[in-house]
């Protein structure tokens, strides 16, 4: 009897793992990819770019910009409102950054002096 129950437990665990994998893959397949600023890319006056778009957790934002003059920093609401990147903030500098949205509010700024104040920031709410 001990042999049979061990085999059944492994089969049940394998089935559970397979179902979990299917659910994860289905969620990833639903994710959309958005280029921030559309054809203009990540630049000044992009704060209104999110209007009319519906974002979901798992969607990917692509930030395209010249890395010699801009960056992308993931910040808190305070960092967004104050155009400041606290020490330890995640900074992206490739010029072609892909960032997966978390559920809830996601805030991004350019931390180069004066850029955020000139509108180089976005707030994205993902359902």
pLDDT digits (tens, 9 = 90+) for 27-38: 555 799 999 999
- Residues paired with 124 in a beta bridge: 106
- pTM metric for this prediction: 0.77
- Residues paired with 126 in a beta bridge: 55, 104
pLDDT tens digits, 5-63: 566 666 665 665 655 555 555 455 579 999 999 999 999 988 899 999 999 999 999 99
Look up residue 110 and give its DSSP letter.
Answer: -
């Amino acid at each position: 009897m001990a042999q049979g129950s061990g085999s059944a437990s492994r089969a049940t665990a394998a089935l559970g793992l397979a179902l979990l994998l299917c659910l994860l893959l289905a969620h990833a397949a639903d994710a959309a990819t958005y280029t921030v600023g559309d054809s203009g890319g990540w630049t000044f006056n992009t704060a209104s770019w999110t209007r009319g778009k519906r974002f979901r957790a798992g969607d990917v934002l692509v930030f395209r910009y010249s890395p010699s003059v801009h960056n992308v920093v993931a910040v808190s609401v305070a960092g967004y409102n104050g155009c400041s990147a606290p020490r330890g903030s995640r900074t992206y500098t490739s010029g072609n950054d892909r960032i997966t949205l978390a559920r809830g509010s996601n805030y991004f700024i350019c931390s180069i002096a004066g850029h955020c104040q000139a509108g180089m920031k976005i707030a994205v709410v993902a359902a």
